[in-house]
Amino acid sequence: MKARNIFIILALINLLNYIDRQVLYAVFPLIKQDLFLSDKELGFLASAFMLVYMFSAPILGYIADRTPRQKIIAFGAFLWSIATSFCACARNYFTLVFARSLVGVGESGFTSVCPSFIAERFSPKIRARILALFALGLPLGSALGYLLGGVLGKSFGWRLAFFILGLPGIILAFIVYFGIKDTPKKKEEKPPFKNYLKLLKNKKFILVCLAQAMGTFTLGALAAWGPSFLNRYFNYDVASSGTIFGALIIVAGALGTLLGGFIGDRWQKKTENGYFYTTTLSFLIAFPFGLLAFLMTSKILFLTFLVISIMFVFMQNGPLNASVVNLTNLKERSMAFALNVFIIHALGDALSPYLVGFVSDSFNLKIAVIASLFFVLPASLFAYLASKVK
């Protein structure tokens, strides 16, 4: 199959990846009311997914470097899609936590494999742009998750929203399994598990992961609690909150991701640290606009500043993923992305939804979300330090 067709199929699955991940946040108010949950318990639903997601990634990444990778991609898409639909059957908090945890296992297999699988099929000169296009699944899928989750949840209830949105991924999983073939690896090309220790000694790689982790902490907090913030502070209903926040993510996320890929590739042609400089500046610019947004009482000003802030946070997607490709060799690249997934989520959005919920219960949601914005400052610092390490 041609590289372009493989890209389209995997990009569609990535879109579903984020739809199924973010639909939870659109129906937070409905689940809270139906199951009588606190904000801390709601936050842990997101964190449970991320904890399982990050611990599964190194295992599945190791397997992916030793087996045809289309099998891991297909397995991941099938499992998370089935688990998403299974959320509809959850009759209490604990079964819902279990179902969301299975979603984490499936998505970790897909995310660990796909960036390197795609990057290897295109020229290094355009890798940041290709990976930025692939990363559009994050803002577009997230937006559709909020939109569809909000509309379906309001009209038919949160259970049916989960059931419907889990179905398309099952079909695409079979297309991947039978339609895409990986290049077989020779025995000497299959890296041992101890290569994870080698990656941990790669200072530049670790700094890239830390920069992504700090940015992901903030994005995870905003993704989980953005619709609820609109619901509580600006009196939007569930459907309207999902629609508005979804539209915001489409505009800000798509613009930021594409802009970051374009600027990163152009800057990288002039200096080997172009990807790091792009990321350093984008995080620095994101912080004051985010702070302004949550200090506003005007809906228009809030949404305007938030769009700008999220756009700059999203700019790191293409450049930093391309950096991971450039900093690792082919035979252990799936392991590199798996370790990358583990680090960015262990220190990022595995913690932030729960911590924001905890602070919200203790103080209020506005204080909790504002506190999460400060993590883009160390994100900028780590990106800058990566440019200085030889």
pTM check: above 0.85: no
Task: Express each pLDDT in 252-275 by its tens digit.
Answer: 988 998 899 899 989 998 998 999
Q: Which pairs count as long-range contacts for 251-255, CB under 8 Å and 24+ apart, including other chains?
A: 251/307, 251/311, 252/139, 252/306, 252/307, 252/308, 252/309, 252/310, 252/311, 252/314, 253/136, 253/138, 253/139, 253/140, 253/142, 253/143, 253/310, 253/311, 253/314, 254/136, 254/139, 254/140, 255/311, 255/314
pLDDT in the model for residue 371 = 95
Give domain limits for the chain.
3-180+190-388
Residue 22 has pLDDT above 90, yes or no: no
Contact in structure between 47 and 217 (CB atoms under 8 Å) = no
Quick: pLDDT tens for 127-140.
778 888 888 887 88
If phi > 0 it is left, if psi is from -120 to 50 it is alpha, else beta; for residue 304 that is alpha
Q: Where are the beta strands (DSSP E) in 54-191?
A: none
Q: Per CATH, which fold does 3-180+190-388 belong to?
A: Growth Hormone; Chain: A; (1.20.1250)
Band (pLDDT 50/70/90 cuts) for residue 189 is: low
Which of 127-141, 159-173, 185-199 bottoms out in mean pLDDT, i.e. has the lowest?
185-199
Predicted confidence (pLDDT) per residue in 357-378, tens digit: 899 998 999 999 999 999 999 9
Give the mean pLDDT of 319-348.
84
Please state, in angstroms and rounded to a whole number, the distance separating the CA atoms of residues 313 and 252. 9
pLDDT above 70: percentage of residues in the chain: 98
- Quote the tokens at residue 245: 């926040």
Is pLDDT larger for residue 245 or for residue 366?
366
